[in-house]
Structure 1
Amino acid sequence: MKPNVLFVVIDAARYDHLSVNGYDRRTTPNVDALASDGIVFDDAFAAAPWTPPSHASMFTGTYPSTHGYFDTGSGVDGAATLAETLSAHGYRTFGSSLNPKIGYDTDVARGFDDYVSTYRVPFVPRSLDEAREYVFDLLPGYARLARDYRGMDRKAGEYLTMAAVKKRLRADDERPFFGFININSPHNQYHAPRRFRERFESFDPDEVRMDVVWDLARYAGNSYMVGDLDPTEAEWRALGDWYDGEIAFADSLFSELVRILKRKGVYDETLIVVTADHGEHFGEHGRAYHQFSLFDELIHVPLVIKLPGGERAGTRTDDLVSHVDLAPTIYEALGIDVPEGVEGRSVFSGETRDAVFAEYGDPVTGIAALESNVEGEVPAEAYDELDYALQCVRTRRRKLIRRIGGEPILTRIDDEGTERVVDEAWDDEWAALDGRIDETLSEHPAETEGPEIAAGTEEQLERLGYL
């Protein structure tokens, strides 16, 4: 029997806010438990700082400038996706997400036999069978929503996404499965169910401006990045408290998937990947949310892999790993030949990296959100600081961020992993790193227009901070 694969992406979960990675708050007890059965990668990095290109890189094993999926206005080029390849090898493939940027009608969903996009609720069914299927998928999610939120719909899509995947995990089917889920928490607006939200609240409401904290949460920090907000340290901490509650909520949802695998008796034979597509900024380097940046707060991500049969259980490694390595790692673990065009390498290949790379396309979506979520004109200084496509190379101690059309940003990483921008002369070492970007990454595409927004998705994109 071929091993099953469960691929879990906890959206916007930055590395240093998970207890599995040493965070002093117990935000992820269930991922911690998985780590005892698997391998923790302490130096894993996303190939992009936000959802669409990051998922495309994970699914194809290629960099954004190769697959071209910087936003939903284009297709995913290059290598075959995980779903396409595994489907061709006899796997039952299914996935679910509430984020329209990786919805059923995007190339990220290419190759899945069954892909449920829960932002399409309510929706117009294409057939009676589809209507019946959605009703049975989504009823359990609505029941949980009523219990946890008493009429609030902020997390409706999250529960519906879980209900869809859980149903497919329980299916009586002898074929091995490849299941994918994007757990949207802890993506902003940071509104977890009360029992999680209050678990980490450490601030005094009388000592923070709650309207400022809410503005940061609701509007993706855009007012801060244009200089209209000046949050105090206490207000950033309050936002972090809410964020930690979201991570704990996501962790609890993940535990429900593991519970199903164990009840079915297939946990041991299932390869499980848990990671994040990117992290989140909370004022570092003058940034908030997850646009306009390739700093570590966005691209340093958690990664735990549990192999079938308990192989390498309970181990940790500080090897540099890229998200483009995930697809070839899964192929090797399953005994499947790596498709042509894959740029990553299996983490079990015996080859180690001395650098990782990441890219951020022309910030059409980020700038559009900035312009729509602030009052008045966006100052020229904000455009001068933020309006760049980016490429970077990161070693253990240095990072060079190339700003297309601007001056590069140079950073150093200290023993504790803290990244600091440095003002240093351009020398042979920096020049060598710059050359490695050219050797590894393709040229960025020319500036493009933003994607057309399909009917019914605009409200969800606004909630996620993209508009």
Structure 2
Amino acid sequence: MNVIVVVLDTLRTDRISAYNSSVDFTPNLHEFSEAADTYTSAFSQSPWSLPSQTSFLSGMYPWQHRATQLKPFLGEELRLLPSKLKENGFRTSFIHNNTWLNPLLGFTGRFDMEHTPFRKTSYFKGFWRKLQKTRFTKKIRDKLTLSLSKHLLGRSIKKETSVSCEIGKADRFLVKNRDRQFFMYLNLVGSHYPYNPPEKYRERHSVDKELFELDSMPLEYGGEISDREVEALNHMYNAEVDFLDDSFGKVLGLLKKHGVYQDSLIVVFSDHGELIGEEGKFGHHFSTNRNLINVPLMIRTPDGSGEKVIEPVELREIHYQVLNRCGLNQEDPYKMIEGCACGIYEKPTIYGRRANGHEFDLSGPVFYVAGEEDIERHKLGLDEVSVIQEQFNSFS
């Protein structure tokens, strides 16, 4: 059995017809969901890509793998899902255009085939290795890498070209490996800002031409925005999701063309959502709002049977589900830990803590969102939030 993971970056659940019946522009995802287990209460471990996807690939909480906003680098000692599968005969590939998942941050070098935004910078890697020799040069490297990743993340790209390139790479990988057991990890960034949907999708969703160049990033840092601009951003985001759904349909077509669709385990999820005016914020920083961390998750098994799954699940847990479905039985050592969040104000990071030893009782799955002075308790599946006064340091 092959394992195919498709990450639909920055996709909200309420913009998919499988989760919201009023949506009429995601037919490919809807069709896929009908033959897959569709999780209505799936939660990401973080509202941004690096810690969220690392939690899925490692099966760990961010406080364990440590690839967070405090130090966004993956340690070489981390054993990720592709390494575990590779040891058992799988050919592995990593195809994406997310600038946070790059060689400079230690995210690559773990797959047999890799296609990243940094694929043409092999000469740069030698320079980067030299910067790891001393504590002083490591600090220089860290600052340079963060600046470069943020710069590239905010750059407006022609998404048709980007996605077409990714699908082309996936096609070539499948040509070479369709007759052997493989693991393919494909990250599509179609709905990530800057919003730049192809023209036909802008027309389909009545995107205001005057506001098309509106940049959402400064709005995350306190910028003011009018109701008209909020509406424009929603139209642009919907156009992006429409384009993403069509791109996903092309991926499914590719899998069927190569005869690997029916007999593969296909995992589809979003690493985080997006705020579009909620809490007066845009993007996916400074919050663990439900629109950010309650993410789409669909898993199709070779038998093609699917159902709605309402029990809460963490993306981190799917790491173990994949291994177990492949017959590589590995127990989830953190299964009984309550879901928690603990991080600095910029990008709070969701992870777990045991109830034993704390002054308060944790009953049922909960998230704890740690601010600078308090912790908010988020009951899964409920809207109410209670605040438990507890110092951040008690979680350290």
Q: Equivalences for 1:156-305 in 2 at 5 Å? A: 156-201=161-206, 210-211=210-211, 214-215=213-214, 218-220=215-217, 222-223=218-219, 225-226=221-222, 228-232=223-227, 234-305=228-299
Percent sequence identity over aligned pairs: 25
Shift of 1:332: 0.9
Equivalent position to 1:154, from 148, 153, 158? 158
Partner of 2:63: 65
Q: Equivalences for 1:327-366 in 2 at 5 Å? A: 327-338=319-330, 343=333, 345=335, 356-359=339-342, 361-362=343-344
TM-score by length of 1: 0.68
Shift of 1:26: 2.0
Partner of 1:97: 96
**For structure 1, which runs of at least 5 residues remain unmatched after alignment?**
127-151, 346-352, 363-385, 445-467
Partner-residue secondary structure (3-state), 1:185: coil
TM-score by length of 2: 0.79
Give the direction of change, closer, same or farther, for the CA distance of 1:309–1:419 in structure 2 (3 Å limit): same
Query: 1:265 and 1:412 mapped to 2: Cα distance?
Result: 43
Give the aligned residue type for 1:297: N
Partner-residue secondary structure (3-state), 2:63: helix
Give the aligned residue type for 2:182: F
Is the Cα–Cα contact under 8 Å of residues 274 and 304 in structure 1 kept in the other structure?
Answer: yes
Query: 1:79 and 1:20 mapped to 2: Cα distance?
Result: 35
Deviation sequence 1:340-361 (CA, Å, 0-9, x none): xx5455xxxxxxx8953345x4
Q: Equivalences for 1:381-420 in 2 at 5 Å? A: 386-387=345-346, 389=348, 391=350, 400-403=368-371, 405-409=372-376, 419=383
Query: 1:39 and 1:388 mapped to 2: Cα distance?
Result: 30
Query: 1:411 and 1:46 mapped to 2: Cα distance?
Result: 14
Query: 1:7 and 1:390 mapped to 2: Cα distance?
Result: 23
Give the direction of change, closer, same or farther, for the CA distance of 1:30–1:173 in structure 2 (3 Å limit): closer
Is 1:17 aligned to residue 15 of structure 2? yes
Shift of 1:182: 0.7
Shift of 1:160: 1.6
Is the Cα–Cα contact under 8 Å of residues 320 and 356 in structure 1 kept in the other structure?
Answer: no
Is 1:321 aligned to residue 313 of structure 2? yes
Shift of 1:194: 1.7
Query: 1:119 and 1:26 mapped to 2: Cα distance?
Result: 36
Give the aligned residue type for 1:54: S
Is 1:31 aligned to residue 36 of structure 2? no
Partner of 1:306: 300
Is the Cα–Cα contact under 8 Å of residues 197 and 236 in structure 2 kept in the other structure?
Answer: yes
Partner-residue secondary structure (3-state), 2:374: coil
Is the Cα–Cα contact under 8 Å of residues 197 and 242 in structure 1 kept in the other structure?
Answer: yes
Query: 1:287 and 1:198 mapped to 2: Cα distance?
Result: 26
Shift of 1:198: 2.3
Partner-residue secondary structure (3-state), 2:11: coil
Query: 2:310 and 2:76 mapped to 1: Cα distance?
Result: 31
Give the aligned residue type for 1:162: I
Is the Cα–Cα contact under 8 Å of residues 4 and 269 in structure 1 kept in the other structure?
Answer: yes
Give the direction of change, closer, same or farther, for the CA distance of 1:24–1:119 in structure 2 (3 Å limit): farther
Query: 1:125 and 1:354 mapped to 2: Cα distance?
Result: 41
Is the Cα–Cα contact under 8 Å of residues 45 and 323 in structure 1 kept in the other structure?
Answer: yes
Which structure would you say has the larger RCO, counting Cα contacts within 8 Å and 6 or more residues apart? Answer: 2
Query: 2:308 and 2:265 mapped to 1: Cα distance?
Result: 17
Deviation sequence 1:439-461 (CA, Å, 0-9, x none): xxx956xxxxxxxxxxxxxxxxx
Partner-residue secondary structure (3-state), 2:89: coil
Shift of 1:192: 1.5
Query: 1:249 and 1:418 mapped to 2: Cα distance?
Result: 32
Shift of 1:85: 0.4
Partner-residue secondary structure (3-state), 1:56: helix
Runs of 4+ in structure 1 over 6 Å off: 122-126, 392-398
Deviates more, 1:89-98 or 1:101-110: 101-110
Give the direction of change, closer, same or farther, for the CA distance of 1:237–1:224 in structure 2 (3 Å limit): same
Partner-residue secondary structure (3-state), 2:185: strand
Shift of 1:113: 0.7
Shift of 1:250: 1.3
Is the Cα–Cα contact under 8 Å of residues 64 and 70 in structure 1 kept in the other structure?
Answer: yes
Deviates more, 1:238-247 or 1:109-118: 109-118
Deviation sequence 1:196-222 (CA, Å, 0-9, x none): 222222x767xxxx45x743xx242x3
